[in-house]
Structure 1
């Protein structure tokens, strides 16, 4: 498991193939590793040069595919597949308990454990849930564990028994230390991908790929499952039959990168096993291809890539872990380096299992430099979604529409301008339900409209003032002339609101004054500006 906190990347759990004389024995990985992301490092060097390690105490079970979520003081480790251990190798070590969690403090570097509350739970005992699909949502301060499998262990036989896939979404709320299981309409899914994305109106989880039905059915990448945390509801976006999608795969890893203006997100998938047969999906080959799904257009693209060196290329791996780090890198760690599920793996000795993918150059490299440049959308993806390498995507949804009307609102992205104003470029204001077609036009148009409104209002008021001044001078001139012609001049007719047929009264319905006339004092510039703004906005 991998998670970031305070500029550090933490790697925990998993399993390992122990070397001679215990060749062929799989056991728990009981080491916590940490990597400082504020410093440069080189993965081609021995891992001791850039990764810090510390042994789990005997009270902490070594687990695989567990929930590993950040807390204010460190991390919580819960659930997961526990590998029965050989005490000759590992010494005496406690096994996991379903209704307890293990907490690690980053400052104290100490582990503690405490009880947890389980709601809507499926089973308690020797069977527990294990899943690689987890996500932490910072704004909600909640964690999510999706799908996975039920597993059972027998500590005396050193065997792990895997049962059917878990059809549920488990929500962790650290505020009350509660884990709540919620059955999904999707069926059981294991070894797929789960990614969290923030939209203008929601915090969503996107699930893709994986396997089902006792590893006899693959989940196709033309069906993307979307969970709205705001509505606690699942949706599925169906891609067109002719859409280009990856070959079904499972046991891969995912990493998320986002355009700097927020106009699109890219989900990268790497590694994993492609489908074998409909009966035995594990019989397929390990894949080396790199694919990316762009959101919100829901279009897939396969990316060409190169390698700085043979050693920098991870090749095909089963169950690696990915984590977006820095500006434009993906940290890729671990996994079984094998051509297929049933072949003997080539071990990464001394835990030198780290690899780096530079998204901007599409290169497997070995050098990481923090705060270097910024993420650039691959040209292959730009060709599909529009805009350029920095953003400005012109596609705000799937070309052939949404599978559910609700998704148009749920998936509307909150974009920002390059000026750093923090104001979204949505045409409907701050609710973000209807994004504009491009950041350049939308970011400029509100300023232009306001300028035109204010300028028009000022000009209108000035025109009214001049007209009234001219009318007063003309009136005085006529009065003076009339007084010279007659000793009893006629009184001028009263002026009512609306008498100025071309004046501001036509733009100001509310300027009617009961029982009297409309005077310049009753035409405040603010009122005129507001009415003109409202009229143009309709």
Structure 2
């Protein structure tokens, strides 16, 4: 085997890694898959990432030497060579089952560069996923910071009906409480083939389901945050490539796991981030739960080869749905402009960014981060990039930074004053879903909801055949007015008795715009929609179908159900980005030899990144050898 055919070293020959997956497991960060570039003999080559890396988060790590703290799993049983080689797979940790799951992701066909045994190459399959469990001895001894915690990997059947192919999406999440994983949108084969798929995995039953995103086709590259609030899981999805364009960051698409429906909500702020895809996000909550912060870094402004890579940090405050600009990330310890990174929260308030393609524009080759020094740390309490991450010496506890509380109110411990969007939520459903301490704020002019109509239940008609209400007068009644009411009631009594009309309930009617004070927190304590007559039910019912003519409501449908969306005609991608300037920068390049320059020099060589064309229908899936 020649020197050029040897497996590339993931640290000493590292240049860049992007569109990988990363997950925090106890006190370790695991990093897998993705598109990698390596340097050997002053030449750069690109391929997949067959290495499972992990970082001990208890250690003190200087940013300039972060590569020295990368551990690589070299045992082929612990991380076998026949695992799929993909980009943007779903990588989830289930703490209830002490298991890692890996599924989906885009194919990379570069086995000759990255595998010592090319016959072990696995392009992946939409009909399988992989699971690894914590080693038996770890159950008894607990996790240790420097050791790999997991045993071998099992190949399991992914039982989706009629899978469309391997779905590549950055928007994935695993909810430990319900043990369910989610994949939102994504593309199959090439970014010219976005999908409207919404995949859910139930780790308890091992079931996979695929529903249709009602808001359209997405590359799965928007900014997304997922968290539990008021006893349910929500996904907040902003920006990204949706229905043929990179959409503005001034609206959020919101998924409620209880109703399994999507809603939209406008976002405001002194500044709104530019449209983008492939940013990385991480979410934290104020200590008192009065606000949530989705931090968003970088990405690419669109999918063109000339698209700028971004270096800005923003925070979306929830439930006020307000953007706050944090700043650019240049400087000696900041990551600089890049796309396709991974971001995680460690030690409560450290924003850990790992790798990503570092470049000025999409068509440039990635700037190498020699020695694998690709980890960056921001202290969210001070909003500053750190020279050294202190590991176990980090003071625990997240505090909301003053730059944020200047906008939403409160202090470092919470106490947010702005707990709803400016003017309130457009939907009663969202107002209840995001209620803080039982307080709901609804827009006084909700979209397409009926306007309140004044009523007077105390007037009596001129003798028509229909019964006339005789309830108590609306509003507080005090003092001598009670006597007047009694006289009026007596008069009405006499009139009704004379006419033979039935007696009606004295319950006070409500105007269509009135809101009941309904407690928040239980799964069945949220209100239903307004009835057609405009009255709002006093008795709360199960939160199942709260659409009420709200224009921002989307109902989820199962794939296969009737739809008015056009059928996508599959076309295989061609081989050169220059013929297709709309292709996303996330797609993968053929291996290339090129001159190597240090990271301080901008490389302008084109970085054509096209995926392997998918296997045509009818062609058998590749057979793989078992792991050694």
- State the TM-score, normalizing by the size of structure 2: 0.60
**Residue 170 of structure 1 is aligned with which of 166, 177, 199?**
199
Does 2:128 match 1:100? yes
Distance of 2:133 and 2:301 partners within structure 1: 39
1:10 aligns with: 30
Q: Report if the CA contact (8 A) 2:309-2:338 is conserved.
A: yes
Counterpart contact for 2:50–2:114, Cα < 8 Å? no
Is the CA contact 2:301–2:308 (under 8 Å) kept in the aligned structure 1? yes
- 1:272 matches 2:299: yes
C-alpha distance in 2, partners of 1:305/1:115? 43
Residue 31 of structure 1 corresponds to 51
- Matching of residue 217 in structure 1 with residue 258 in structure 2: no
The question of whether the paired residues in 2 share the 8 Å contact of 1:244 and 1:300 is answered with: yes
Match of residue 265, structure 2, among 231, 237, 243? 237
Report 1:191-202 matches (<5 A): 191-202=221-232
Alignment of 1:469-480 (within 5 A): none
Say which SS state the counterpart of residue 181 (structure 1) adopts: strand
1:333 pairs with one of 339, 354, 359: 354
Instruction: Provide the residue aligned with 2:146 in structure 1.
Output: none
Kindly indicate whether the alpha-carbon contact (under 8 Å) linking 2:324 and 2:404 is maintained by their aligned counterparts in 1: yes
- Answer yes or no: is the 8 Å Cα contact 1:78–1:101 preserved in 2: yes
Contact map agreement 1:221 1:246 (CA 8 A) in 2: yes
Any idea what SS the aligned residue of 2:377 has?
strand
Q: Distance in 1 between matches of 2:186 and 2:197?
A: 9
Distance, in Å, in 1 between the alignment partners of 2:518 and 2:194 is 44
Partner of 2:551: none
Q: 1:218 deviation in Å?
A: 0.7
Q: What residue in structure 2 maps to residue 407 of structure 1?
A: 430
Report the alpha carbon displacement of residue 431 of structure 1 after superposing the two structures with TM: 4.5
Per-residue CA deviations over 1:94-129 (Å, capped at 9, x if unaligned) read: 311221112223426333233324335442xxx411
Equivalent in the alignment of 1:138: 176
Paired position in structure 1 for 2:418: 395
1:114 to 155, 170, 178: 155
For residue 360 of structure 1, the aligned residue among 375, 381, 393 is 381
Taking the aligned partners of 1:290 and 1:36, their CA distance within structure 2 comes to: 25
Cα distance in structure 1, aligned partners of 2:319 and 2:338: 29
2:301, 2:307 within 8 Å by CA — same for their partners in 1? yes
Name the CA shift for 1:283/1:114 in 2 (closer, same or farther; >3 Å): same
Q: Secondary structure at the match of 2:371?
A: helix
Displacement of 1:46: 4.6
Contact 1:119 1:179 (C-alpha < 8 Å) held by counterparts: yes
2:72 matched to 1:53? yes
Residues 386-465 of structure 1: pairs in structure 2 closer than 5 A:
386-413=409-436, 428=519, 431=522
| 1:203 is the counterpart of 2:233 | yes
Inter-partner Cα distance in structure 2 for 1:120 and 1:356 = 42
Tell me the CA shift for residue 85 of structure 1: 1.5
State which of 128, 131, 140 in structure 1 corresponds to 2:166.
128
CA separation of 1:306/1:162 partners in 2, compared to 1, >3 Å: closer, same or farther? closer
8 Å CA contact 2:226–2:236 kept in 1: the answer is yes
**Other structure's SS at 1:409 match:** helix
Q: Distance in 2 between matches of 1:317 and 1:88?
A: 25
Secondary structure of 1:118's aligned partner = coil
Bigger drift between 20-29 and 2-11 goes to 20-29
User: Equivalent of 1:313, from 313, 334, 355?
Assistant: 334
Pairwise CA distance, 1:313: 1.7
Partner of 1:182: 211
CA distance in 1, matches of 2:49, 2:127: 22
Cα distance in 2 for residues equivalent to 1:171 and 1:262 = 27
Q: Residue in 1 aligned with 2:326?
A: 303
Please give the alpha-carbon distance, in whole angstroms, between the structure 2 residues aligned to 1:397 and 1:121: 42
What displacement does 1:67 show?
A: 0.9
Give CA-to-partner distance per residue, 1:203-234, whole Å, 9 cap, x none: 11111111134xx5112111101111111111
Aligned-residue CA RMSD in angstroms? 2.5
User: How many angstroms apart in 1 are the aligned matches of 2:412 and 2:26?
Assistant: 28
Q: How many residues align?
A: 402
**Cα distance in structure 2, aligned partners of 1:181 and 1:414:** 35
> Do the aligned partners of 2:48 and 2:114 also contact (CA within 8 Å) in 1?
no
**Length-normalised TM-score, structure 1:** 0.70
Secondary structure in structure 1 of the residue aligned to 2:361: coil
For the pair 1:383 / 2:413, whether they are aligned, the reply is no
Identify the residue that residue 442 of structure 1 maps to in structure 2: none
Q: Does 1:80 align with 2:105?
A: yes
**1:283 is matched with which residue?**
306
Determine the structure 2 residue equivalent to 1:527: none
SS of aligned partner of 1:360: coil
Q: CA deviation at 1:89?
A: 4.2
Q: Which has the larger radius of gyration?
A: 1
Cα distance, 1:285–1:408 mapped onto 2, change above 3 Å: same
Unaligned runs of 5+ in 1: 152-160, 416-425, 435-538
In structure 2, relative to structure 1, the CA distance for the partners of 1:431 and 1:76 (3 Å cut) is: closer
Indicate how the Cα distance of structure 1 residues 340 and 411 shifts in structure 2: closer, same or farther if over 3 A, else same.
same
Contact in 2 for aligned 1:136/1:142 (Cα 8 Å): yes
Give the superposition deviation at 1:163.
3.6
Residue 330 of structure 1 contacts residue 356 of structure 1 at CA under 8 Å; is this kept in 2? yes
Which is bigger in relative contact order (C-alpha 8 A, separation at least 6)?
2
Does the 8 Å contact 1:251/1:273 carry over to 2?
Answer: yes
Deviation at 1:63, TM superposition (A): 1.6
Aligned-partner Cα distance in 2 for 1:265–1:173: 26
C-alpha separation in 1, matches of 2:72 and 2:166: 28
Question: Following the alignment from structure 1 to structure 2, what is the Cα–Cα distance between the partners of residues 88 and 47?
Answer: 22
